Every structure is written in structure tokens, then in C-alpha cells.
Amino acid sequence: MDILLHQSKLSDKSSKIQITGSKSESNRLLLLQALYQGISLENVSNSDDSVLMQKALASKENVIDIHHAGTAMRFLTAYFATQIGRTVELTGSKRMKERPIGILVEALKQLGAEINYIENEGFPPLLIKGKTLTKHKVTLKANVSSQYISALLLIAPKLENGLELTLEGEITSVPYINMTLSLLNEIGVETSFNKNTIIVKPKELNKNSQNHLTVESDWSSASYYFSCAGLSEIGTQIEIASYKNKSLQGDSVLVELYQNFGVSAQFSGHTLQLKKTNHPESSINFNLKNAPDIAQTIVVTAFGLGLKCDLYGLHTLKIKETDRLVALKTELEKFGAKVEITKDSLHLEASNHIKSNVSIETYNDHRMAMAFAPLALKTNLVIKDAEVVSKSYPTFWRDFKNIGFLTESNNN
Ligand SMILES: O=C(O)C1=C[C@@H](OP(=O)(O)O)[C@@H](O)[C@H](O)C1
Ligand SMILES: C=C(OP(=O)(O)O)C(=O)O
């Protein structure tokens, strides 16, 4: 399905958008729920990636396909490595087979796991034979993906002696590691993270222990509304829910970053009120190594406002749903933008011209579709294969229409 977005203006009646739970928090908590009894959850994400995670954890099949879900692939590799007596083939989409997993597999093997590559060395699919992991110390590279680290941390309290991780190189996406540790703490697991060492103490929850956790709504999904506010006229307001002032999600840095685009974000209880209050700064320069998932949103907002934009710390973007650096350059240039990319940065020139009626390819990447959609506040455009949004935010197009976007779909 392609969606034609006519140039739109946000509706004056500020309607409140209820955004689904964080997929990162949900996928961690679903795994902890499978490992420990007595955990109940509220506001779990309805994203494809979380539904796939739930199904995989409940499945009794020998082959489990997690499609495009990176966290599910990495977290379930660790999970199945500890499921004694079970042998599972863990596989995914064509793209998943190109997303590296060797660092995690090697770390699990150092702990005593039995995992084999079915096709290419270092990549899914994997054949995992569940075993008791006997060791508790492991060293791994931390500059490729934090998901390998979170995967190990999630199973750590179940290991006989817990886990001591030594991280090598510059640690990437640190807030996601802290999120994992905080969620472990919430269910009573003791952890420490000092410099490059993380320690998780072993823990068996007592039979009667009950933990009820409410998943905060997804901040990466919130970014598209920050972008809408940023691209609107001064005075425009949008309300999104349900958010917390002290979030576990690193993408909550949006509140600070979007001030540069003239957007103010105020809490009223768990509702976040976004308002365009000021003109933007003349140029944007951010390091996003702690918040890689909002890079696409930010560069599109900057382009829509005609701003020069330099983004750094983007080394993980090449191994996500698509090579996001190449995808951004290709699609932005269709509108007439001038973009340079390196292996870890992106540079957009200031320009006040935006070509109309461009068709955006989404490359099986939900964030390509959602990041470009707010540009309809400036021009007409088409989003190809628009259903990709369901990877993290299935009701995105409905919600988008509700705040005033004029959309037309065609099913080709
Ligand atoms: O742990 C997580 O939930 C995630 C970690 C990040 O990945 P990297 O650590 O690979 O950057 C992020 O991009 C991804 O969307 C979700
Ligand atoms: C990179 C992402 O997800 P994953 O790595 O879990 O596929 C994302 O949601 O932007």
C-alpha cells in the first residue's frame, strides 16, 4: 500500500494521541516475564516486533522466525541458549540475515552456550541448543550494538553465578543498556555499571513475589509528533500520551533537542503537550550515539525547515532495518536536498527549496515512512509500502489522519 499525503495543516482542535508502549521496554519485560513468575504488564507495545516476541516465547515449534525484529533476534538468542533440553532454529527476514550477531554468539559461547550458524558465519539463522551456562565472566565489543549487551544482561540473573561483563571500545547506545539494568532492578535484581564493567547478581524470585509494571509509551514514536510541531506554524499544539518525566528511554532527549527547532514540551500529568513556540536555531549539530533511532526524524525536520544539519555518532545506522545513512541520502536528494554521508555522520546543506510529488521508498524500514510523513506540512508526497510502520507503530496512519493530515491510500 502506498499513501499519498496531500499538503496539510494540523487541525486547530488539539486532539490527544495515545501512543502504544515502548517496544524496547516491552521486549525486555516480555523476556523477563518468561524467565520469572509473578510479573504482570500494562501498556505492552502492540508493535509487530513485540507481537513476534510474545509469539516466539510462547512457541513450541523448532523453527522460530522473528522477521525484521532486531531486539527479538538478539534477546531470544540469549534466551534459547539457556533453555535446557530445547533445540531451536532462530531465523528472520532477508535483511535480518545481513544484520551481524557474531559478537553476541561468541560471548554466549564463552559462557558455555552451544550455537551454530546455519548459513553465514556471524549472521542469522542460528541453531541453538539450550544448555546450562556454567561460566560467568565475558568480554565483548561494545561499539557495534548495545542489543548484544542487553541480551546477555537479561538472562544474567538466571545464571548460577550471575554475570560480569567487560565492555571493549566506545560503548554505543548506552541508554538502552541502562534501561535493561533499570528494569532488572525493578524486579529486584542487583546490578552495577562502573566504567566498562557491568555486574549482575544471580536471583531466583521468591514464589509469591508479584511485580506489576506499566510500560511507558514509545518515545521513538513520539519523535514524529515533535517533527510535526517543529514543521508547523508558531502556536500549533499536539498532545501525546502516556509519558513520564523521568523516562528509561534515551529518546526522551527529544524534549531537549527539539528546543532547537522551536518546540516546547510540557508535561501535564502523563500527557506531553508539544507546542511550536519559537523560530528554530539557524543550524543543527547533534551527536546521536545515544539516540540513533531519532536520526531520520531529525534530519527530515531540519530539511523541512531549510536548516543546515550535521549529525554525528551514526555508526549503528548502517546495520539497522536498512542502511539508514544511504536510504536518507537517496530519499532526501529526491526533494533536491544536498546530503553527504560518512560511515558515521550525515551532513545536510541549508536550502529553502523542496520538490513536490516525490515518492519515498521505505526499504522495509518503518522509520523511513514515519520520518518523512511530517514533510506533508510543506509539500505533497507519496510514502511507498506505507504498511511498514507496523514494525513499531501499527496505528500511525490513523493517528496521523486524526491530527489533520490529508491521506489517500492506493493498494498497489
Ligand atoms: O535495545 C534496544 O531496545 C534497542 C537498541 C538500539 O540498537 P543498537 O544498540 O543496535 O544501536 C536501538 O537502535 C533499537 O531500535 C532498540
Ligand atoms: C533499529 C530498530 O529496531 P531493531 O534493531 O530492534 O530491529 C528500530 O526500531 O529503529
How many CB atoms neighbour CB 124 within 10 A? Answer: 25
What is the pLDDT at residue 14?
67
| Closest of 120, 192, 171, 158 to residue 36, by C-alpha | 158
Residue pair 302/262 in contact by the 8 Å Cβ criterion:
no
Cα(85) to ligand 2 centroid in Å equals 30
Neighbours of 392 (CB within 10 A): 26
Beta bridge partner(s), residue 359: 382
Q: Grid coordinates in use for 192?
A: 552495577
Name the burial class of residue 164, with classes exposed (0-12), middle (13-18) and buried (19+) by CB atoms within 10 angstroms of its CB: middle
Q: ipTM exceeding 0.90?
A: yes
CA–CA dist 36, 39 (Å, integer): 7
CATH of domain 23-214: 3.65.10.10
Q: Give binding residues for phosphoenolpyruvate as ranges.
A: 23, 70, 99, 147, 324, 367, 391
Active site residues: 293
**What distance in Å separates the CA atoms of residue 20 and residue 40, rounded to the nearest whole number?**
17
Query: What 8-state DSSP symbol labels residue 248?
Result: S
10-residue mean pLDDT profile of the chain (412 residues): values are 96 86 98 94 98 98 98 98 97 98 98 98 98 97 98 97 97 98 97 98 83 97 98 96 97 98 97 96 97 98 98 97 98 98 98 96 98 98 98 97 92 68
Q: How far is the CA of 16 from the centre of ligand 2 (A)?
A: 26
Ligand 2 center from residue 1 Cα (angstroms) = 22
Please work out, in degrees rounded to the nearest 5, the angle formed at the alpha carbon of residue 43 by the alpha carbons of 42 and 48.
125
78 and 151 Cβ atoms separated by less than 8 Å: yes
Which of 99, 293, 366, 390 should be mutated for ligand 2, with most atoms under 8 A from CB? 293
Q: How far is the CA of 69 from the centre of ligand 2 (A)?
A: 7
Q: How far apart are CA 109 and CA 377, in angstroms?
A: 51
- Give the Å distance between the CA of 157 and the centre of ligand 2: 25
SS3 of residue 139 by DSSP: strand
User: Which of 301, 228, 239, 231 lies closest to 265, judged by CA?
Assistant: 239
User: Residue with the nearest Cα to atom 8 of ligand 2?
Assistant: 293
CA within 13 Å, CB half, 123: 12
For ligand 2, atom 5: residue with the closest CA: 70
Cα–Cα distance, 257 to 265 (Å, whole number) = 11
pLDDT for res 112? 97
- Listed in order, the ranges of the chain carrying CATH 3.65.10.10 are 2-20+216-410, 23-214
What residue's CA is closest to ligand 1, atom 8? 145
* CA–CA distance, 262 with 281 (Å, rounded to integer): 8
Q: Which ligand number lies closest to the CA of residue 388?
A: 2
Give 70 Cα–ligand 2 centroid separation in angstroms.
6
Q: Is 101 exposed, middle or buried (0-12, 13-18, 19+ CB in 10 A)?
A: buried
Closest ligand 2 atom, residue 391 Cα: 9
Q: Binding-site residues for 3-phosphoshikimate, please?
A: 23-24, 28, 145-147, 173, 293, 320
Phi-psi region of 272 (alpha: psi -120 to 50; beta: other; left: phi over 0): beta
**If you take atom 6 of ligand 2, which residue's CA is the nearest one?**
70
Tell me which of 28, 71, 219, 390 to substitute to probe ligand 2's pocket, judged by most ligand atoms within 8 Å of the beta carbon: 71
Q: What atom in ligand 2 is closest to the CA of residue 23?
A: 9
pLDDT for the residue numbered 397:
97
Mutational pocket test of ligand 1: of 24, 28, 247, the residue with most ligand atoms within 8 Å of the beta carbon: 24
pLDDT of residue 23: 98
Would you identify the CATH topology of the domain 2-20+216-410? UDP-n-acetylglucosamine1-carboxyvinyl-transferase; Chain (3.65.10)
Nearest to 234 by CA among 268, 278, 197, 192: 278
Q: What is the pTM of this model?
A: 0.97
Ligand 1 pocket by Cβ (under 6 Å): 24, 71, 145-147, 150, 172-173, 176, 292-293, 316
| Closest ligand, as measured to the CA of 72 | 2
